[in-house]
Amino acid sequence: MKFLVLGSLNIDIVYQLPHIVAPGETITSYKRSIHPGGKGANQAAALARAGADTFMAGKIGADGIFLKNILDEFNVNTSMIKIDRENPSGHGLIQLAQNGENSIVLFPGTNRQIGDDEIDRVISNFTPGDIILLQNEINSLEQIITKAAERKMKIAFNPAPFTGDVMNLPIDQVSYMFVNRIEAAQLTQMTENTPPETLIRAAAEKMPNAEIILTLGSEGALHCCNNVITHAEAFKVSPVDTTGAGDTFIGFFLCHRAGGEKPETAMQYAAAASAIAITQLGAMNSIPSAHDVENFISTRKS
């Protein structure tokens, strides 16, 4: 089984601040750093770290070639990443507060300039049963989902950042839907303070053929399939940077679940991986190895 991530690759510029800037406020950052990012690239790195046979497809500018090189180091197959030397890569402008919380502004760049012929060419390399993982940071998602379904690939979707266009996509073709509390509320047209079990059941009613995974940060995560809800506790750690925690969770869960593990086992590995990730600065570079996750779980059980 092969995993294809057709998604975003970003250059993340991180400004560390005492707190997230309020409207009209000007504060001084005490540190600036540049990291590889983009939900697509982060999730591809997490899949590969978890042990999946992972391929990354998407588009970068000449300024983003280092993103491809870093993914190579993660053992992600990057042969399908296209380089556009006339346009800039996607960028993420990240405010990182001292308590580990973040605020992000995205510039799409080449992430939203993927051609129809490029989509067809990429998907033609995969076979029935392979898994495609998508996010909402690239263009032509309707075409991608349709083509992947025609190819009889299994589709995993993380509709982040959530926009109204998501509801117009053929989400009935999705096998794994990953949402956080805000996205679940938007998907179900409920409020964010709706109890998580109510949210996930409502999402499952909209997508009865999909496994719904609702991530809840420090409250853990819920999984719903065939009207059965499974809860996973979050591991208690001291957060340094929560950027990329959700992407890490998705990659590890999908690798283990698609590999045949029960939902509770897949969520345990995913929760452990994301717990390790938030104890370090950065998104992609904080993703742990499968070995690190195994050791972490063993230590917590002892």
pLDDT of residue 114: 97
Residue-number span of the structural domain to which 111 is assigned = 3-301
- CA-nearest of 183, 41, 13 to 110 is 41
pLDDT of residue 243: 81
Q: What are phi and psi of 195, to 5 degrees?
A: -55, 135
CATH number at residue 139: 3.40.1190.20
Please give the single-letter amino acid code of residue 137.
E
Query: Can you say how many angstroms the Cα of residue 245 is from the centroid of all Cα atoms in its chain?
Result: 8
In the numeric block, the tokens 């957060």 are attached to 239
Angstrom distance (rounded) from CA 247 to CA 153: 21
Number of domains into which the chain is organized: 1
Residue % of the chain over a pLDDT of 70: 100
pLDDT band at 302 (very low <50, low <70, confident <90, very high): low
- The average pLDDT across 217-241 equals 94
The pLDDT tens digits of the residues spanning 40-77 come to 999 999 999 999 999 999 999 999 999 999 999 999 99
Task: Report the number of secondary-structure helices (H) and strands (E) in the chain.
Answer: 9, 13
Q: List the alpha helices (DSSP H) in 162-244.
A: 181-188, 196-206
pLDDT band at 99 (very low <50, low <70, confident <90, very high): confident
pLDDT of residue 242: 85
pLDDT band at 102 (very low <50, low <70, confident <90, very high): confident
The pLDDT tens digits of the residues spanning 136-179 come to 999 999 999 999 999 999 999 999 999 999 999 999 999 999 99
pLDDT of residue 274: 97
Q: Is 42 left (phi over 0), alpha (psi -120 to 50) or beta?
A: alpha
Mean per-residue pLDDT over the chain, rounded = 95
pLDDT of residue 154: 98
User: In this predicted structure, which of 2-11, 93-102, 112-121 has the lowest mean pLDDT?
Assistant: 93-102
Pairing of strands 10-17, 3-6: unpaired
CB proximity list for 12: less than 8 A, separation 6 or greater: 34, 35, 36, 37, 38, 91, 92, 94, 243, 282, 283
Sheet holding 102-107, edge to edge: 31-37, 10-17, 90-97, 102-107
> Residue 100 above 90 pLDDT?
no
- The average pLDDT across 213-235 equals 95
> Residue 214 above 90 pLDDT?
yes
- CA-nearest of 40, 32, 53 to 9 is 40
Instruction: Name the token pair of 245.
Output: 């925690």
For the whole model, what pTM was predicted? 0.93
Angstrom distance (rounded) from CA 188 to CA 144: 23
Angstrom distance (rounded) from CA 55 to CA 5: 6
